Structure 1
Amino acid sequence: MGAEKQEASHTLRSIRGSNNLSENEFSKNTIDRLDLESDFLNLTEKNENQFPFDIFPKVLQEIIFEASNKYQFSIDYLGAGILSASSAAIGISHKVKVKEGWNVKSNLFTVIVGRPGDSKSHALNFCFKPIHIRESELFYRYEQEVLNYEDSLESGQKKLKKPFLEKFLISDYTLEALILSHFYNKRGLYIYVDELHGWIKNFNRYNNSGEAEIYLSLWSGTTISTDRASGKNLRIEDPFVGVIGSTQIAVLKEFAKEGRSANGFMDRLLFAYPENQKTIKWNIDKVDENILQNYFTIISNLIDLKNNENGQANIIPIEESAEKHLFNWQNNRPDEYLFDYERSIEVKLQEYVIRFALILQLIHYASDKKTKNEVQLFAVKGAIRLFEYFYHNAIKVRSEITKKNYLESLTELQKIILAELPKNFTTQAGLKIACKKVDGKPRISERQFKTYLNDRKLFKRVSHGNYEKIL
């Protein structure tokens, strides 16, 4: 690939569109190294549902490995984050034509799931950094336009048109503010929330306003409008709204409350939920600037995709062999399911396959110059692999939120320690069992075990220093 060296990747100027990636071009040695990284990961990580990172171009695989190795971010978080950042950058600029009257856009509702301290927010910030920087540039321009506008009012000159803030992401907002912001940003918006639990809790803050139902419409891309008591009414014919954020495993049940597990809302969420998360260890390693620059350039190229000459989305078809592969796959999916939620998840994720294929096609266009005029077979195959990844996680989340037995809610280590403890034991005997060393380190600390003993659903205090297991 050609090389055009730019300034450091954290500057505003560095993410302006460019058709060239940085000087760290992909030689055969670089590709071989990526293949070795992939092989090593597959051999050493016992993960039955690894994010399929190899659906991305090699240049993005390199940034995933680099950030995972240097910052210890989960591969799943990086893969889902890059997919969502790419979707946010594309916006309404392109749609896929599945058949006459059926066009699909690329917005995603993504949730990354993990324990406290798993660097969920840091991983997302890393993936969305190019968009944050572009937004900083847009805000600076907006400030200058506001100053010019206010000066024109004071001087009595011909009034300038009141400026509006162009943006890609929105975080702290009311539903009306979201629609107003989208009205001025026709390309689309992504709801970017650090903790999605708070977003969910706010759904019915205004007298059961039915906010969840509005988000169902936004996911589908159907026309939305607001009737305002003061000010003009708003109508968006072709909305594009995505969602990205994180949540902790312990609060997944909140997502299913107030009918959200039955009305299809839960089934529209894409969960990135790593099988085996390692504890983050601090280090001083930094991501290679050239590799980071390549990522910034790809996202910038996606941001700079234009609508057609009429200002509408570019409608691109599915190439014939890709369409045949997609339809054959869909027609051979199961017809019967043990649980109704499996059917609902299946249907929503089938729709996502088309969205994934569009994103993958345009990512490859932005990085290695594949066409952006049709969706090809490689993109459909990659999209189906994403379907399998997110389907597995959706079933996993459903299992989490439908647990009825308290024992099932315990962590694996809690279950192991509980099983090893005898029916009756003293504090000292329990400490010896619970805090035994594994690989030279105690499994848990003395303080952690004593906190565990305070769980009255599991243990009964018989007398001072003596306990009985209840379950």
Structure 2
Amino acid sequence: MDGIKISLHDANCKIKRERISNFPIEVFPPFVQDVIIEMYENGNYNMDYFAGGILSSFASSIGNKYHIRKDITWSENTSLWIVMIGWSGQNKSAPQKLAYRSIKDKQSEFEKEYKTALESYDSSLDEVKPLRKKLYTTESTFESLLKMHHDNPHGITVIPDEFKTFVDGLVGYNGASRRSSYLSVWDGAPLSLDRKEAESAFIEKPCVNIIGGIQDDVIASLKSKDTKDGFFERMLFVIPQKMEKRYVSDTPIDEHLLSVFQTKMKGFLEEMLDGDLYNDIPLSKNANVRLNKELNSHVEPSNKDRNVSGILSKLDRYMLRLALIMEVADCYFNDRVINEVSLSSMEKAILLKNYFYSNALQINDIMEQSYETNTPNGKVYSILKAIGKETFTSKEFIQVAKELHHIGRSRSYELLSISKLTQELGKGQYRSKIDCD
């Protein structure tokens, strides 16, 4: 790995995965790397999907147990919003289910405990009603999510069956959008809920993870609904280098290795659920210097491109979250005490950041292309980019519209009249409102 010493084991795993995946699985503890490769080779699992699922499950398990603090003004929890991108039938769900098995098993335990406690509960005795503790939910309103988080301050994970359904569902029956509420959740800002139809709830330090899957052609359709609020910039996209269907291996899965993996994942979760919450972990001096260097490397590309700026501003924060996850996981699997986030963990976080940054640019290109092809404003946007001038004539617009989108004269004038991206200056003269540089 760049910037740090790499073991022979990590080097071998890196060589194996580079043939078929860009996901830097060498950031994980060696044992986890072995499981990922085993399930790829003999379980027919996509390496990116399984690695992304494990990363998400680590984040969910840690929850609010630990926070990372850069300085007195900047701290982060372990919240990750991961979206698996792939063709239909790419088996995105099975690797995720295996990665989350310990969390789902634990929730089943909580459910049994709740039912047992409810059977002995007597409201007439002025007893405290048992809490229904949840670690994850597949479908809920934002109000329900907040109530679940209130009952479990450790954190909650949203695992929608389809990510598109989740995004569409953010607009409620009354037309109000909950996107802004989720943005506040991602930021870790305190949240309160006071509504007649729901119990009051206050979350001082929300920690909500999201993991879901969507087809690559479907996510492009969401561009037309994007309100430029930074919602999609908060997503960490997992995109396999190779999506083709693979032949089933004749070699059976190493069941012992898988059993040990599940035992260790269960132990990791149990340790994270035990003890106090909100333990602040500082950066080591070297980790802080390395982070500052990487943050500074984002300045120039951010100043050159607005879309890049939106992506990198979120990844700036994700680097801290990823470094914390790497440190906590490494300490657990290597039986070390957590004191500070090391330089090694920060280097691993940067490798992950680079992976997610590359994927974000790829998704942005896909969404831009779909937006420019399939929506009125998108068509105008692409025409104005092609014209490349601040002021232009209707004749120029009509000519480029015909070349790019095979649009006739009448439709071109219609687009000019309805678009908010142009301003009429006079007869046949217009000004572009987009950056033409």
TM-score, normalised to structure 2, is 0.79
Q: 1:18 matched to which residue of 2?
A: none
Q: 1:364 matched to which residue of 2?
A: 330
Matched, 1:221 2:194: no
Q: 1:335 matched to which residue of 2?
A: 300
Matched, 1:76 2:76: no
User: What CA distance in whole angstroms lies between the structure 2 residues aligned with 1:231 and 1:272?
Assistant: 36
Matched, 1:94 2:66: yes
User: What CA distance in whole angstroms lies between the structure 2 residues aligned with 1:205 and 1:233?
Assistant: 19
Other structure's SS at 1:111 match: strand
Per the TM alignment, residue 276 of structure 1 is displaced from its structure 2 partner at its CA by 1.4
Per the TM alignment, residue 406 of structure 1 is displaced from its structure 2 partner at its CA by 6.2
User: What CA distance in whole angstroms lies between the structure 1 residues aligned with 2:343 and 2:264?
Assistant: 21
- For 1:8-87, what aligned pairs fall within 5 Å after superposition? 36=12, 38-42=14-18, 44-45=19-20, 50-87=22-59
- For 1:277-356, what aligned pairs fall within 5 Å after superposition? 277-282=243-248, 286-305=252-271, 311-337=276-302, 338-356=304-322
User: What CA distance in whole angstroms lies between the structure 2 residues aligned with 1:336 and 1:306?
Assistant: 38
Q: Which moved more, 1:63-72 or 1:112-121?
A: 63-72
**Structure 2, unpaired ranges of 5+:** 1-6, 375-404, 406-437
1:38-93 deviation per Cα after TM superposition (whole angstroms, max 9, x unaligned): 42443x43x5xx10000111010011011111222111111111010000000100
Distance 1:387 1:41, change over 3 A: closer
User: What CA distance in whole angstroms lies between the structure 1 residues aligned with 2:91 and 2:62?
Assistant: 26
**Structure 1, unpaired ranges of 5+:** 1-30, 408-456, 458-471
User: What CA distance in whole angstroms lies between the structure 2 residues aligned with 1:287 and 1:85?
Assistant: 22
Q: Which moved more, 1:77-86 or 1:398-407?
A: 398-407
User: What CA distance in whole angstroms lies between the structure 2 residues aligned with 1:301 and 1:201?
Assistant: 36
Which amino acid letter does the alignment assign opposite residue 219 of structure 1? W
Distance 1:54 1:306, change over 3 A: closer
Distance 1:163 1:284, change over 3 A: farther
* Percent identity over paired residues: 25
1:3-46 deviation per Cα after TM superposition (whole angstroms, max 9, x unaligned): xxxxxxxxxxxxxxxxxxxxxxxxxxxx977754542443x43x
Which amino acid letter does the alignment assign opposite residue 124 of structure 1? Q
Which amino acid letter does the alignment assign opposite residue 183 of structure 2? L
Per the TM alignment, residue 384 of structure 1 is displaced from its structure 2 partner at its CA by 0.3
| Native 8 Å contact 1:302 1:362 kept in 2 | no
User: What CA distance in whole angstroms lies between the structure 2 residues aligned with 1:130 and 1:186?
Assistant: 19
The match for 2:76 among 104, 126, 134 is 104
The match for 1:143 among 93, 108, 115 is 115
User: What CA distance in whole angstroms lies between the structure 2 residues aligned with 1:363 and 1:312?
Assistant: 17
TM-score, normalised to structure 1, is 0.73
Q: 1:412 matched to which residue of 2?
A: none
1:378-399 deviation per Cα after TM superposition (whole angstroms, max 9, x unaligned): 1000000001000000000000
User: What CA distance in whole angstroms lies between the structure 1 residues aligned with 2:233 and 2:17?
Assistant: 30
| Native 8 Å contact 1:225 1:236 kept in 2 | yes
1:190-242 deviation per Cα after TM superposition (whole angstroms, max 9, x unaligned): 00112101001111133332211111001011011112114542211111111
Q: Which moved more, 1:279-288 or 1:214-223?
A: 279-288
Distance 1:39 1:398, change over 3 A: same
| Native 8 Å contact 1:90 1:303 kept in 2 | yes
Aligned residues: 368
| Native 8 Å contact 1:225 1:234 kept in 2 | yes
User: What CA distance in whole angstroms lies between the structure 2 residues aligned with 1:211 and 1:188?
Assistant: 19
